[in-house]
Amino acid sequence: MSDKFDTAEFIAGFVAEAEDHLSSASTNLLSVEGAAAKGQATPRQVRDLFRSLHTLKGLAAMVGVEPIVELAHAMESVLREADRAAGTLPVGAVPLLLDGVAAIEHRVRALADRQVVVAAPPKLVEALGNLRQVGADRAMTSADTSLSPELWDKLGPAERTQIVQALTEGRRAFVVPFVPTLERASRGLTITSVRERVAALAEIVKVVPQSIAASDEAPGGLAFALLVLLASQDDAALADAAATTPESLVPITLEGVAAAPAPESLEEVADEALQHRGVVRVEVARLDEALERLSALVVTQFRLVRTLAAMREGGADVRALAQVVADNGRQLRDLRASIMHARMVSVAEMLDRIPLIVRGLSRATGKEVRLTIAAGKAELDKAVAERIFPAVVHLVRNAVDHALEDAEERRAAGKPEGGHVTVACRELSDSQLELTISDDGRGVDSAAVARRAGAPLPTGDEGLLELLTRPGLSTKAEVTKTSGRGVGMDVVKRIVVEELGGELSLRTSRGQGTTFTLQLPLSITIVDAFSFLCAGETFVVPVAMVEEIQELDPARTVRGPDRRKAPRPGPERRRTVRAAEMIHRRGEAVPVLRLDELLGLGEATELGRKAIVVRRGGESFAFAIERMLGQQEVVVRPLEDALVRVHGVTGTTDLGDGRPTLVLDLAAIGGRLTSPVVGGQP
């Protein structure tokens, strides 16, 4: 056996652990920064931050990444000094610590991509080493609380601040006594087990050993005082966990300070914190492999169904086999739900880097920005999350850099000096999620956008969005660090609409603000879909895209003039198709488009018998088809090769016959019919 230690196999595990600790560090730093702005100390967050960096340093040392070790060590030194100062960071520490987290994150990503990990920035390490504690809080004394001087002297500055701050916020604190005896030890009640039991109910600040006179009740002459902060109101449960009585619990109170009433939701927060869940780390590649195996099973199920139908048509008795196939289909749906659930990631987790991005933009632009993230408990597939995150980042950057006014302009408009950006999401259905990025800025100037694009003034928000998403268009007259390069909104549209098959919409009001709405599928691999027949060919359309399926009654179809014309010459032209039929649907006239004609499959003399109604923006379209074939789960294979990409085709699937079946984006096809074509590109 070789004596050489190979760290390569540990890299994936290190990266996963490091990302968790970096996320925790960023969250705690932002919390520290917010509390510092209010003049509050944050002893617990400082210790949690120190713990994350200390663990990260140890992991980095294990795999031999010295630049991360050096950065984490420099940041540890600052936090150790802050911990001695009751959780108060030195002036200017937060920006440097955030830079340190960003530098570590950059090196973790380089390690994950098997690239060279560059040395730690010497100026940053030097700046962290030069930080000195300024303006430490006043020295607290035992007179601040009812805690005995004997116990008070055993506490460090951060622990004293933690107790006083908790009591000021309305939480309750106790001294919980525990005396070891042989009888208790025989029942498994030791200081170790009691500490674990108490920690499940309360936050332990410190366990202080005490020397007492030996007696029958304390044969060893030893006792312990557990200083705890209680989240719940159940004193009896705390006493039971410590193997004592409620009467023996000694409350800690503030002397001369009125405590704030406890918040009503405190018990709910505590209950959530006590729910321990086991977690197993699984590489995404393994989940992808499981999904690939599931995809093969879905196709096999299609083949079973087709074979069963052929046997039935041949006169065979397939009732028993049909029941087995039906049971297999239900079990396959359950398996799909389980695998897809394992692939889901929290939207809140996906957005946890947005506050850092906004903070950096606020510093770069000099604008005061308040960020609100309302993600709730929504989840989406990891593959979708990875694709959509860059689009969300770009929209947030635009909101801060383009949309929000500076303080002087906001004051003149009667607005608060600080702008407000909101990122929110909600589940529209079992298969769709809606993300909104909104601001209270100046709104989009349609006339200015039209001038920059060299196009006529748009008549509505949908036309304005079409201009904003033109490749190369930028509304910034000069290039800055954050914008002005002409790259952005076209990328957002490509990700949301073309890659994910979702929908992007805009709502803006001058002087009031702008909202971008992204409707996304929760998954892009296995989706519920309708299959249908058109001109003898089979196609598939996702269920989430369809508003309604209607019977086409020729007697109720309004026939108009034939609008087919030859394209006009010149750099700007309009694609025209025959939309001579209209149907009445819920008070609106909906054009009926012949899908066979649009796809170049030939022209039928009569309309199909069915119509699939979809909506893009605020406009509905009905596509005439021959007949519906059914609804089923399908495996979508995206068209990655740019040479075979076709507008309105999102991918292919296999319905069990071994032939590729096209998956259509009918909303994109319908929305493109009346859009102007510039420079020869529709």
Q: What is the DSSP track for 296-345?
A: HHHHHHHHHHHHHHHHHHTT---HHHHHHHHHHHHHHHHHHHHHHHHHEE
Tokens of residue 209, six digits: 């050993």
pLDDT of residue 420: 92
Q: What's the pLDDT tens digit per position in 349-369? A: 888 888 888 887 887 888 888
CB 255 within 8 A of CB 219: no
In what helix (H) or strand (E) does residue 127 lie, and over which residues does it extend? helix 122-129
Give the CATH number of the domain where residue 397 resides: 3.30.565.10
In a domain, 134, yes or no: no
Judged by phi (left if over 0) then psi (alpha if -120 to 50, else beta), residue 258 lies in beta
Does residue 560 share a domain with residue 460? no
Beta strands per DSSP E along 535-571: 537-542, 546-551, 558-559
- 253: containing domain: 142-273
How far CA 54 is from CA of 58, 69, 206, in Å, comes to: 6, 9, 20
CB 40 within 8 A of CB 136: no
In this structure, how many other beta carbons lie within 10 angstroms of the beta carbon of residue 342? 14
Give the CATH number of the domain where residue 63 resides: 1.20.120.160
Does residue 421 share a domain with residue 503? yes
Does residue 584 share a domain with residue 487? no
Does residue 378 share a domain with residue 362? yes
Angstrom distance (rounded) from CA 44 to CA 300: 55
In this structure, how many other beta carbons lie within 10 angstroms of the beta carbon of residue 209? 10
Angstrom distance (rounded) from CA 628 to CA 550: 11
CB 361 within 8 A of CB 369: yes
pLDDT of residue 279: 60
Radius of gyration (C-alpha) of the chain in whole angstroms: 32
Low-confidence ranges of the chain (pLDDT < 70): 1-10, 36-40, 84-86, 91, 132-144, 157-158, 168-170, 231-233, 255-283, 430, 474-488, 560-580, 602-608, 617-618, 639-645, 671-682
Nearest to 625 by CA among 637, 635, 613, 636: 613
pLDDT of residue 618: 65
In a domain, 278, yes or no: no
In what helix (H) or strand (E) does residue 74 lie, and over which residues does it extend? helix 66-84
Of 79, 95, 129, the domain-final residue? 129
Does residue 563 share a domain with residue 444? no
Nearest to 340 by CA among 523, 484, 478, 208: 523
In a domain, 56, yes or no: yes
Does residue 654 share a domain with residue 590? yes
In a domain, 491, yes or no: yes
Nearest to 131 by CA among 86, 95, 178: 95
Does residue 488 share a domain with residue 369? yes
Q: What type of residue is 612?
A: I
In a domain, 606, yes or no: yes
Angstrom distance (rounded) from CA 55 to CA 72: 9
Angstrom distance (rounded) from CA 37 to CA 113: 38
Does residue 499 share a domain with residue 355? yes
DSSP state of 400: I
pTM: 0.60
Does residue 118 share a domain with residue 163? no
In a domain, 312, yes or no: yes
Nearest to 666 by CA among 479, 541, 582: 541
DSSP state of 411: H
CB 577 within 8 A of CB 564: yes
In a domain, 137, yes or no: no
CB 537 within 8 A of CB 601: yes
Contact residues for 642 (Cβ-Cβ < 8 A; gap 6+): none
Per-chain mean pLDDT for the chain:
77
Tokens of residue 34, six digits: 């917010």
Angstrom distance (rounded) from CA 646 to CA 635: 19
Angstrom distance (rounded) from CA 514 to CA 645: 32
CB 681 within 8 A of CB 470: no
Number of H helices, E strands in the chain: 22, 25
Angstrom distance (rounded) from CA 631 to CA 647: 24
In a domain, 136, yes or no: no
Task: Please state at what angle helix 93-112 crosses helix 11-37, rounded to 10 degrees.
Answer: 160
3-state secondary structure of 579: coil
Does residue 498 share a domain with residue 414? yes
Angstrom distance (rounded) from CA 12 to CA 52: 18
pLDDT of residue 265: 34
Of 302, 330, 345, the domain-final residue? 345
Judged by phi (left if over 0) then psi (alpha if -120 to 50, else beta), residue 210 lies in beta
Q: What's the pLDDT tens digit per position in 266-276? A: 233 333 333 44
**Number of domains within the chain:** 5
Using the CB atoms, write b or e for 101-134: b if 16+ within 10 Å.
bebbbebbeebeeeeebeebbeebbebbeebeee
Nearest to 635 by CA among 529, 510, 563, 500: 529
3-state secondary structure of 192: helix
Give the CATH number of the domain where residue 632 resides: 2.40.50.180
How far CA 93 is from CA of 76, 105, 476, in Å, comes to: 12, 18, 34
pLDDT of residue 257: 42
Of 322, 345, 368, the domain-final residue? 345
pLDDT of residue 655: 79
Does residue 373 share a domain with residue 337? no
pLDDT of residue 184: 84
Angstrom distance (rounded) from CA 435 to CA 503: 10
Does residue 614 share a domain with residue 546? yes
Task: Measure CA of the first residue to CA of the last residue in the chain; give whole Å.
Answer: 64
Nearest to 67 by CA among 132, 23, 117: 117
Angstrom distance (rounded) from CA 106 to CA 120: 11
- Tokens 């086999």 appear where? 321
Nearest to 111 by CA among 238, 17, 30: 17
CA dihedral (640, 644, 650, 653) in degrees, to 10, reads: -90
Q: Give me the sheet containing 172-178, strands edge to edge.
A: 202-211, 222-230, 172-178, 250-252
pLDDT of residue 578: 52
